[in-house]
């Protein structure tokens, strides 16, 4: 039972381009939607997170767009750089500090 | 310490042996999670501790896996009679209330 579906599995973007990763969830009780970035040999690190009371959150070059009715959220990386090359995971959890459920990840490669 | 600490960082064990993996969470964090990440795969939830509540063990793949958290702090994940399919990176994370989960660097377990 996969509660968070993530796509694409891999993504190649030209330097300066926009990287877009999509996630869909099933559980309407989810109310916290973070994105994690993971470099090889490292643990995942929080990149940006959103709660369903807003439809968009922007932090620097990273933006989360959230569509509550469609139960979808996406990560946009503007002006993508080679240093952004990593694996990105979306996740979701419900209230009460419940465990995060992760998508299967997207391997992003930004090429010059 | 400043972050989540896991030990050992690497462990090679023979099939059939028992292993113990240790996690030191961030001081004051009430929640602690264990995840498993197979090569190139997503994060598989194993177990979740929150304060003094009974742990959520719903992700443990078999009765060979167990975990405890002593004094609301350090946690140990034990795998008995290890099998080759147990080879993976085991990640620990901690958080305070329903906020950001901080991950350790993981323990890479190889069963030969």
Tokens at A66, concatenated: 């959230």
Q: Which residues of B touch A33 (CB under 8 A)?
A: none
What are the pLDDT tens digits along chain A (112 aa)? 468 999 999 999 999 999 999 999 999 989 999 999 999 989 999 999 999 999 999 999 999 999 999 999 999 999 999 999 999 999 998 876 678 889 999 999 999 9
**Are β-strands B107-111 and B10-13 bridged in parallel, bridged antiparallel, or unpaired?**
parallel
Q: Kindly provide the b/e burial profile for residues A39-75, where b requires at least 16 CB atoms within 10 angstroms of the residue's own CB.
A: eeeebbebbbbbeeeeeebeeeebbbbbeeeebebbb
Closest CA to B48 of A88, A45, A94, A89: A94
Q: Which residues of A touch B4 (CB under 8 A)?
A: 43
Interchain CB contacts (distance < 8 Å): A and B: 57
């Amino acid at each position: 039972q996969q509660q968070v579906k993530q796509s694409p599995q891999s993504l190649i973007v030209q330097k300066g381009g926009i990287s877009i990763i999509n996630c869909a969830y099933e559980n309407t009780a989810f109310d916290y939607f973070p994105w994690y970035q993971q470099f090889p040999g490292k643990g995942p690190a929080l990149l940006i997170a959103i709660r369903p009371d807003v439809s968009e959150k922007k932090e620097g070059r990273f933006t989360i767009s959230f569509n509550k009715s469609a139960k979808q959220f996406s990560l946009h990386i503007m002006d993508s750089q080679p240093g952004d090359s990593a694996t990105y995971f979306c996740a979701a959890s419900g209230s009460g500090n419940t465990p995060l459920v992760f998508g299967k990840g997207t391997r992003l490669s930004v090429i010059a | 310490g400043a972050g989540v600490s896991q030990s050992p960082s690497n462990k090679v064990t023979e099939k059939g042996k028992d292993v113990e993996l240790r996690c030191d969470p961030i001081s004051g964090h009430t929640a602690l999670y264990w995840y498993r990440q197979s090569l190139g795969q997503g994060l598989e939830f194993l177990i979740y501790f929150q304060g003094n509540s009974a742990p959520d063990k719903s992700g443990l793949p078999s009765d060979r896996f167990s975990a405890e958290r002593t004094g609301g702090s350090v946690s140990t994940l034990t795998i008995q009679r290890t099998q080759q399919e147990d080879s993976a990176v085991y990640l620990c994370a901690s958080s305070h209330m329903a906020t950001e989960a901080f991950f350790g660097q993981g323990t890479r377990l190889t069963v030969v």
